[in-house]
Structure 1
Amino acid sequence: MSETSSGDGKTIAIISYVTLIGWIIALLMHNNDKTDFGAFHIRQSLGIICVAVALGILNAVVGIAILAWIIQIALLVFWILGILSAIQGEKKPVPLLGEQFQQWFKGIG
């Protein structure tokens, strides 16, 4: 894997946080130009997406309005931290589950 000197890893990293479609585009771009930086952020973004879906399903079952607000705020914070890390060229895992995302999705690389 190459480093992010060309900037492509950074572009891929940023795009991965822009909705599910952005994540798919980033993954396709990453397959053509693999970097550790791009892979790191693709895994972080996928983790945030998976947590959002799982918690959305849980909220639909439980149906507590305050829970929905807390979940949305937490996911927004995770997303902001992730995209800021990508923009700044840093490999900082998101709080709580970021390290697990790297392990769970280590096949993306």
Structure 2
Amino acid sequence: MDAKTTGIVAYITWIGLVIAFVLGDREGAKFHLNQALVIWLAGLLSFIPCIGWLWGIFCFICAVMGFISAVNGEEKAVPLLGQIRLLK
């Protein structure tokens, strides 16, 4: 997969993130792989009742923003979570 496709697939689901990381262009899409990983890990907090549900909605919106950024071929960081770097 090329870098754009890898970035798009990473935002779809956990499985898409794993597929993008294993089969995709890791160097070209490192920004989107990192953002998707941070968003999906932060989304795990959505299992907390009440406040977690709002956090889950925020993470979903961030995933949609990241997906749109990947489709457009841009590297725009999502709010709050975009500054976190897990992949070097």
| Structure 2 residue aligned with 1:84 | 68
| Structure 2 residue aligned with 1:50 | 41
Question: C-alpha separation between the residues in 2 aligned to 1:77 and 1:34?
Answer: 24
- TM-score normalised over the length of structure 1: 0.72
SS in structure 2 opposite 1:79?
helix
Structure 1: 5+ residue runs without aligned partners? 1-6
For 1:43, give the aligned amino acid: N
For 2:7, give the aligned amino acid: A
| Structure 2 residue aligned with 1:35 | 27
The Cα RMSD (Å) is 1.7
For 1:40, give the aligned amino acid: F
What is the 5 A alignment of 1:93-108?
Answer: 93-100=77-84, 103-106=85-88
Measured against aligned partners, the alpha-carbon deviations of 1:28-50 in whole angstroms (never above 9, x if no partner) come to 123xx4433x1110100000011
More helix by share: 1
- TM-score normalised over the length of structure 2: 0.87
Question: C-alpha separation between the residues in 1 aligned to 2:61 and 2:40?
Answer: 13
Query: How many correspondences in the alignment?
Result: 88
% identical aligned pairs:
35
Question: How much has 1:72 moved relative to structure 2?
Answer: 2.2
Question: How much has 1:13 moved relative to structure 2?
Answer: 0.3
SS in structure 2 opposite 1:68?
helix
Task: Name the CA shift for 1:70/1:27 in 2 (closer, same or farther; >3 Å).
Answer: same
Question: How much has 1:90 moved relative to structure 2?
Answer: 0.3
Structure 2: 5+ residue runs without aligned partners? none
